[in-house]
Amino acid sequence: MAAQPLPRIDDPARAMAALAHEVRSQAGDAPIYFISGNFNVLHPGHLRLFRFAAQLGGRLVVGVNPDGKEGVTVPQADRLDDVAAISLVHHAVPLAEDAETFIARLRPEVVVKGREYEGVYNPEKPVLDAYGGVLMFTSGDVRSSAAEALSPDRGRRATASIFKPADYLRRNGFDILSLLMAVESFHRLRVVVIGDLIVDDYINCDPLGMSREDPTLVVTPVSSKRFVGGAGIVAAHARGLGAQVRFISVAGDDAPAELARTELAERGVELEIFTDTTRPTTLKQRFRASGKTLLRVNHLSQQSVGPALQTQLAGSAMDAVRDADLLLFSDFNYGCLAQAVVDPITEACRELGVMMAADSQASSQMSDISRFRGMSLVTPTEHEVRLALRESEAGLIHIAERLQQVSAAENLVITLGGDGLLVHAPRGGVYRTDTLPAFNTAPRDVAGAGDSFFTCAAMALCGGVDIWQAAYLGSIAAALQVSRVGNTQLTARDLLQELANPANIVHEAPP
């Protein structure tokens, strides 16, 4: 049924207060999505905006600007009737004041505006910030175009293969709106990241064929691109998601270190990178052809940094956490996070009440995630759990229970690559498990998926949501990351756009 224009009252202030109260009362517990404008002529752009908001669920409220406002050419009564006739609209509101004033009365959960308003001052934003509302920008279609999905590599996203399972939402008692609110809270966080700095060098090649002398693939390098990786991309993700970030690490006196310092500083990350002239900055070269990685060559030292640098790293982090909400240990086991560094930082965070999360990666190297004790969140792979426990045969739930006991981690997520993840966490006083599939059915580059999941899930948990919501949000972050080639900074806008896309919420995972 089309919306009915709400009744008018002679006194403008009383009218707006009454309308806001009436709309909020009729909405009940449902979230309110608010759109306002002149609407002289309803066109397809308006309808796309309405459809976008309506598909998010809840109540769509559309405010129609008063006569006399700049740009208005049609009487408000006629414009109001036109808007009310749209079946997507639950309430058509005749505004007698600025939209931001009415928003302060109505307190909608989300205000939706066209993409053309992004990047300029929006008077609604301070009002929304005051009570925790969300301002979203969209053209009504946030899916990537086919041209983008097929375009070459670097930094470009192909998100058509992303899906979001609806059954997990219902099973764990939350909805997309709560995740939107979680992302909006990220800008209030102060995050310290400490760990191994890595630079990834992607070398794109043309395949020439097979050598006639021996079974060797022959390629010609065509172009290359370097990305900040390791703990550096964790810091970049946290900054891109909106947090204030301080990054503490060690690097060599070389070009990769200079590149990392420059890029991270340009992204707004506060840096304290100590120089160790006895070891190179870890550089990982990936030789790629036809969208696949053929070979990876690592230039690195896996020895721990010396005692003097260990003391400097620990002291810097202990000073930084005095003004932090969250500490992230991003351990790639290349010598930055010796136990003599981890232990005093952990103790300082406990004393200050700073939340801690840890990720300790093992691909070609060894790791032990259990040495990070008392974390609020750890996110190892199945391989990393089995390494820590020296257990090769027990089932997933069993090793999850054992790792939780050994490490005293409050929340544990075991990532399973293309098979998704397993969450092992407390609910109702007992530990329970749940699973999520991988959200991207056609990843382009899986490097960095774990880093984006770890960063986003830890920030969501610190922001106040539970682990079940944090895991879902982290899975979306990972799906976005693997939709592009190279370790590219994740942003809050990326997450909000994907969350606001209702088209890929499905009841069953695609085959």
447-483 pLDDT per residue, tens: 889 999 999 999 999 999 999 999 999 999 999 999 8
The CA dihedral of 436, 442, 447, 453, to the nearest 10 degrees, is: -30
Local confidence band at 46 (pLDDT 50, 70, 90 cut-offs):
confident
pLDDT of residue 444: 85
Contact present, 468 and 425 (Cβ < 8 Å): yes
Asked whether the CA dihedral 13, 18, 19, 24 is positive or negative, the reply is positive
Range in 205-219, 357-371, 386-400 the model is least confident about: 205-219
Residues 173-196 have pLDDT tens digits of 998 888 998 998 899 999 999 999
pLDDT of residue 510: 57
Contact present, 3 and 92 (Cβ < 8 Å): yes
Q: How far apart are CA 288 and CA 206, in angstroms?
A: 8
The residue whose two tokens read 């005095």 is: 322
- Which ranges of 85-201 does DSSP label H, i.e. alpha helix? 99-106, 124-131, 146-150, 166-171, 176-184
Q: How far apart are CA 203 and CA 291, in angstroms?
A: 11
Q: How far apart are CA 102 and CA 412, in angstroms?
A: 44
Local confidence band at 156 (pLDDT 50, 70, 90 cut-offs):
very low
Looking at the predicted structure, is the pLDDT value of residue 32 above 50?
yes
pLDDT of residue 1: 42
Local confidence band at 363 (pLDDT 50, 70, 90 cut-offs):
low
Looking at the predicted structure, is the pLDDT value of residue 485 above 90?
no
Nearest-10 crossing angle of helices 176-184, 449-463: 90
Q: What is the average pLDDT across 376-400?
A: 91
Residue 130: exposure state from Cβ atoms within 10 A (0-12, 13-18, ≥19): exposed
Q: How far apart are CA 207 and CA 213, in angstroms?
A: 17
Local confidence band at 155 (pLDDT 50, 70, 90 cut-offs):
very low
More confident residue, 510 or 105: 105
pLDDT, mean over the chain: 87
Residues 444-456 have pLDDT tens digits of 888 889 999 999 9
* Domains, the chain, with CATH or none: 12-141 (3.40.50.620), 164-506 (3.40.1190.20)
pLDDT of residue 140: 56
Range in 145-149, 224-228, 346-350, 438-442 the model is least confident about: 145-149
Q: What is the average pLDDT across 334-339?
A: 92
pLDDT of residue 95: 93
Q: How far apart are CA 65 and CA 124, in angstroms?
A: 15
The residue whose two tokens read 């059915």 is: 441
pLDDT of residue 100: 95
Residue 257's SS3 state is helix
Looking at the predicted structure, is the pLDDT value of residue 252 above 90?
yes
**% of the chain residues with pLDDT over 90:** 58
Token pair of 482 as six digits: 């693997």
Looking at the predicted structure, is the pLDDT value of residue 148 above 70?
no
Q: What is the average pLDDT across 400-422?
A: 94
Q: Which segment, 50-54, 80-84, 399-403, 455-459, is predicted with the most confidence on average?
A: 455-459
More confident residue, 390 or 356: 356
pLDDT of residue 160: 62
Local confidence band at 141 (pLDDT 50, 70, 90 cut-offs):
very low
pLDDT of residue 118: 83
Contact present, 359 and 377 (Cβ < 8 Å): no
Query: From the CB of residue 93, how many other CB atoms can be counted at a distance below 10 Å?
Result: 27
Looking at the predicted structure, is the pLDDT value of residue 412 above 80?
yes
pLDDT of residue 213: 77
Looking at the predicted structure, is the pLDDT value of residue 150 above 50?
no
Q: What is the average pLDDT across 246-263?
A: 95
Local confidence band at 145 (pLDDT 50, 70, 90 cut-offs):
very low
Looking at the predicted structure, is the pLDDT value of residue 168 above 50?
yes
DSSP states along 336-402 = S--HHHHHHHHHHHHHHT-EEEEEE--SSS---GGGSTT-SEE--BHHHHHHHHT-SSS-HHHHHHH
More confident residue, 496 or 367: 496
Q: How far apart are CA 494 and CA 142, in angstroms?
A: 10
Asked whether the CA dihedral 185, 188, 488, 327 is positive or negative, the reply is negative
More confident residue, 195 or 87: 195
Looking at the predicted structure, is the pLDDT value of residue 130 above 80?
yes
Looking at the predicted structure, is the pLDDT value of residue 290 above 50?
yes
Q: What is the average pLDDT across 269-288?
A: 93
- Side-chain half-sphere exposure of 423, counting CA atoms within 13 A: 25
Token pair of 215 as six digits: 């079974």
pLDDT of residue 107: 95
pLDDT of residue 151: 34
